[in-house]
Amino acid sequence: MYLSKYNIIFDNNSAEYPEHKVLVNFLNRKIHLIPHQLADIIKTNNLNEIGPFNEFLIENSYLYHSTADEQQAERDANEFYHEKLKEEGHQFFISPTYSCNLNCSYCYQDKVAMPRESEYMTYDMVDRITRIIQDKVTIEKAHTGPPVVTLFGGEPLMATKKGKGIVRYILNKCRMVGLPIGVVTNGTQLDQFIDDFKGLNVVTFQITLDGPKHIHDQRRFSRQGEGTYDKTIAAIELCVERGMPVMLKTVIDEQNIDHLPELAEFLDDKGWLDLEDEKFMIQLAEDISGFILHCMDLTENQGYSGKVSGSDKNVKILKRVSEMAKSNTSLMKMLRPESLGISQLFYRGELPPPKLSTCSASHISWTFAPDGTIFACPGGVAEHLVLGRYYPEFEINEERLDLWHSRAVDNNPECENCAYKYICGGSCASLAHGFDIIYCRPIHDIVQVGLDVYLPRIINRIRENGML
């Protein structure tokens, strides 16, 4: 007999069933409450004591007759993943410029971006991008889901003559060919563009708000040092009024964490936390700028490559947010299961399908930069992450493309024996390809925080799965 190497034991810190732990297997998508005795047996791999639990464990694929059975389950998961991938839509990011009207305290773009010759892409370039997108969507048909174009940057919505002209041109092209559109923007000049989005299928405006005014303004300010809070709030208000979906992003760190309850109460008073999920989404994000620079330094100056563990600073921050949320209903509304890695478990009562890559960049996303370059990932604009060019001529480095497409957690030796691989997906491909760094996020701790917050609300559903 063989106990799955993907069995993971989490604590049950809810008041119900205190004599049980939580057993999870992200390969087989199973979650159960189990007695401490069985948790100990699994942790110590003590097959001699397994007798009374045998049937339950085999039935739920926590225990196999041989390792070959688990290897078959992994092959099935791989096949299922690639079938599902075909149903996804392409994600195209268009960065009309890498310039930005802000100078946020934690921005690292200047340090990682390649120097750019042209400030804005030209109309001719947009024509070329649209043709490539149409070819990929209608001729290549490698992915059948609806494609999405996202305006990215720098800041895509800057109300200069050039900025307005090129954005309107891109939006008109999207309108003509019926492409849904998303925007990642600081929102400060959104009012000057909002009418241009009429008649378009807007998927989301992602706008960052980092706290109440006195905090946000210290972190997100213009090149002249002027705080952007009022303009950011006005942009969100405008989107809500027009029924345009908002993805509110809050980058959390030591500087703003204690002000989150104040921010959440403000959002709640506005009524935004009660809007339907499709109209008002929230992403609590970790500040990764320091980490990315650390990885670059490791590779470039210290010659290191290999695994790097995510800092537990981020876990501490998540724990603090979840603690504060227990006594603040607005913050509890703001804290979404997505931020804690258990959204599918919360919303649908089931674990997500095994994940073989961390993000869409490995397979379905292309980023068009203002100087004619194509990148695989919108965040990775370093020279070694170039996939090819769309202008002046279309050319793709097939070898590089294959490298991205073939990256999957089940062929990554660094991840071979990791129990978390089917929830992690094998880390950021951009860091792996660019710096040879495998970034291991502290997944156990993040999911544990998620279970601590949400288990009391979903425990009955899990119990319905059967428990011992």
**H/E element, 204:** strand 202-208
* Residue selected from 160, 414, 461, 467 as contacting ligand SF4 according to rule CB under 6 A: 414
User: Could you say which residues in the range 369-388 bind ligand SF4, by CB under 6 A?
Assistant: 377, 379-380
Q: Which of 240, 251, 235 is nearest to 106 (CA)?
A: 251
User: Whose structure tokens read 């078959």?
Assistant: 72
CA 342 – CA 345 distance, rounded (Å)? 5
- Specify the residue, 186 or 430, whose C-beta has the smaller distance to ligand SF4: 430
Q: Scanning residues 348 to 367, which ones bind ligand SF4 (CB under 6 A)? A: 358-359, 361
Instruction: State the nearest-atom distance from the C-beta of 420 to ligand SF4, in Å.
Output: 5
Tell me: does residue 418 bind ligand SF4 (CB under 6 A).
yes
Among 244, 308, 415, 459, binds ligand SF4 (CB under 6 A): 415
Is 24 one of the binding residues for ligand SF4 (CB under 6 A)?
no
Min separation Cβ 374 and ligand SF4, Å? 14
Give the whole-angstrom CA distance, residue 361 versus residue 271: 35
How far apart are the C-alpha atoms of 300 and 110, rounded to whole Å? 17
Q: Which of 440, 463, 467, 468 binds ligand SF4 (CB under 6 A)?
A: 440
Beta-strand relationship, 395-396 and 386-389: antiparallel
- Token pair 């960052």: residue: 208
Site for ligand SF4 (CB under 6 A): which residue of 126, 429, 447, 449? Answer: 429
Question: Residue 321's closest CA among 294, 272, 268, 283?
Answer: 283
Segment contacting ligand SF4 (CB under 6 A): 45-53, 69-77, 256-264, 438-446? 438-446
**Which residues partner with 30 through β-bridges?**
25
CB of 438 to ligand SF4, least distance (A): 5
Nearer to ligand SF4, 112 or 257 (CB): 112
In the shown chain, the binding pattern of residues 314 to 353 toward ligand SF4, with x for contact by CB under 6 A and - for none, equals ----------------------------------------
- Read off the DSSP letter of residue 139: I
- The answer to whether residue 200 forms part of the interface with ligand SF4 (CB under 6 A) is no
CB of 38 vs ligand SF4, minimal distance in Å: 25
Here the tokens at position 390 are 């769309």
The nearer residue to ligand SF4, 444 or 463, going by C-beta atoms, is 444
Q: Which of 22, 236, 443, 451 binds ligand SF4 (CB under 6 A)?
A: 443
Tell me: does residue 420 bind ligand SF4 (CB under 6 A). Answer: yes
Phi, psi of 195 (to 5 degrees): -65, -25
CA distance 28 to 43: 18
Residue 263, SS3 per DSSP: helix
* Contact flags string 392-411 toward ligand SF4, x per CB under 6 A: -----------------x--
163 and 157 Cβ atoms separated by less than 8 Å:
yes
For the chain, helix, strand, coil in percent to 5 are 50, 15, 35
Residue 56, phi then psi, degrees to nearest 5: -60, -45
Q: How far is the CB of 321 from ligand SF4 (least distance, A)?
A: 22
The residue with tokens 């649209």 is 130
Q: Which is nearer to ligand SF4, 285 or 396 (CB)?
A: 285
Q: Site for ligand SF4 (CB under 6 A): how many residues?
A: 21
Among 335, 424, 451, 459, binds ligand SF4 (CB under 6 A): 424
Q: For the residues of 271-297, what is the DSSP string, one character each? A: TGGGS-TTTEEEEEEE--HHHHHHHHH
Binding site for ligand SF4 (CB under 6 A): 358-359, 361, 377, 379-380, 409, 414-415, 418, 420-421, 424, 426-430, 438, 440, 443
